[in-house]
Amino acid sequence: MARKDADPAKTPKPAAATPAKTTSESVTEAVGQKIERALDPLASAIKRAALKRADKTSRALDATSQAPKPAKGALPVSPLVVPFPAMAPVAGVRLATGRAGFYKHERDDLLVMSFDPGTTAAGVFTRHKVGSAPVDWCQKQLAATKGTEVRALVVNAGCANSFTGRPGADAVRRVASAVAKRFDCRQRDVMVASTGVIGVLLDDAKITQRLPEVEQKRTPDGWAGAAQAIMTTDTFPKGAVAEAEIDGTRVRIAGICKGSGMIAPDMATMLAFVVTDAAIAAPALQSLVNLYVRTTFNCVTVDGDRSTNDTLMLFATGQSGAPKISRAGDKRLADFRDKLEGVLMDLAQQLVRDGEGATKFVKITVAGAENPISARKIARTVAESPLVKTAFAGEDANWGRIVMAVGRADEPVNREALSVRFGEHWAAQDGLISPTYDEAKMSAYMKRQELEVFIDVGVGKASATMWTCDLTKQYVAINGDYRS
C-alpha cells in the first residue's frame, strides 16, 4: 500500500476547545507524561523519525525463500500474508525444533535456542494481572542476573502454563534445570516461554524427553522452522531481518514472533524473540527494548484483548566483532537503533496482517490532539471499536462510527473542527460531511485490502498512529472452536 502521512495543515483549525479537564484528570495526565519522558531518553529523535520509518520493511526478501508448509488441518492462510524473509545465520545462536506433542495433529511445537557464552539479554513482558509461570520465571531470572548471561531459550506452543499455580512454576523450573544440565549452565541462564490454552498445566516431561533429540538438531540457520514451531492460530510464520553498522562493523538483527488473536497494546499479545550479534551491555539492551516496544508492538491491536503470556526478548551474542556498547544513547548505535525499530515494527505489523479472520490491514492516524497520550488513546479506541472494525469488514466507509469511537475515548475533541479522511477521500470536514464526499469513490477505496484512516480532532498538534484489522465472522468461528 502506498502510504502518505497525513498533513494536519490540510484540515481546518479548531473554532473552540473543549472544556478544561478536572484537577484529577490533569494530575493523572501530567504523571503519565512525566513517566513517558523518564522512560524515553531518545524521545525527540523517535518523534521525528518513527512515523517515517513505521511502514518500511526491514526484510531482505528472497522470492525463493520458503518457510515450512502449514501443518495439516491448519487455518487458511491470511489474504494479508507477507513472505517469510531469507534469514542468514546470526553468529552466536543456534536453533532447533521438535514435536513435544502438545497438539493432536503432527507438527513441531517446541523450539530451543542456544547462545554462546557472554550473551546479554533484555525483555519486556505482559502487564496482565494474571500472568503466567514462564513470564514469572523470566522476569525473576533477568532481575537476578541483570541480563548479563543467558545461554538458552525454550519455547513451547499448545499450552500457555498460565493460571496453573505452584505446579506450573515447578514445571518451568524442571524444564530450565534439564536444559541447564545439557548446556552446562545455570538454571537462571535459561529463559522459558509458552503459548496456547490458558489454565492447562504444562506437562514438562513432553519437553525434557525431547531435549537430546532437539539438542543434536541445532543449526545456525533454523529461523524458518523456529517461526513455524511457535505458531498457534497463526496462519503464516513471521520473521524479520536487517543489517546495521556499528563503528564500521556490520552486525545482523533477526527476529521471529507469533500472534494472531488476543492482540492489543500494552505489550501486545504475542511471543517475539530477536537476536543480534552486536555486543551491547544488558542495561543498554533493556533501554532499547523499553523504548521501541512503545512505537511498535504497543501500536498494534487485533481485538483489544491482552494475554497472560506476552513476551518480547532481545539477545545480543557479541560475536560480530563490533565494539561493545554500554549506553543506549551511544552515537555509534544510531544505525542499529534505526534498524532494530524497523525489525520490531515489521514483526508487529505482521501480527495484524495475521489477525484471526482478518481481510483488511488498517492504519489509523490521529492528529490535532492535545498531547501524544491523548492521541494514542483516541487512535486505540477507534482501532478496537467492534462497530468500526465490522464496517471495515463490510467495506463500508461509515465515518459516523469513527466519530462515535473518537467521542467515547473521553479525550479533548473540538467537534466543530473534527475531520475524517479515508485514504485521500474526505468523509467529514469541520464537523460536517465533506462537501467533496463521493460515495462511489469511497466505496471503491474501501474494497482495497490495505486502508488508511486519518482523523484530526482539532485541539492541538500531537499525533499517534496505530495499526489494526477488520472483524469478521471467521474471528468468531476461530475463537468459538479454539479448544475443540
Active site residues: 269
The whole-angstrom separation of Cα 366 and Cα 387 is: 18
Cα 483–chain centre separation: 24
- Nearest CA to 432 out of 391, 399, 460 is that of 399
Q: How many C-beta atoms lie closer than 10 Å to residue 447's C-beta?
A: 9
Cα 270–chain centre separation: 7
| Total residue length of the chain | 484
The whole-angstrom separation of Cα 473 and Cα 479 is: 10
Crossing angle for the helix pair 43-54 and 334-353, to the nearest 10 degrees: 50
The cell numbers describing 2, all together, are 502506498
Name beta bridge partners: 271.
258, 311
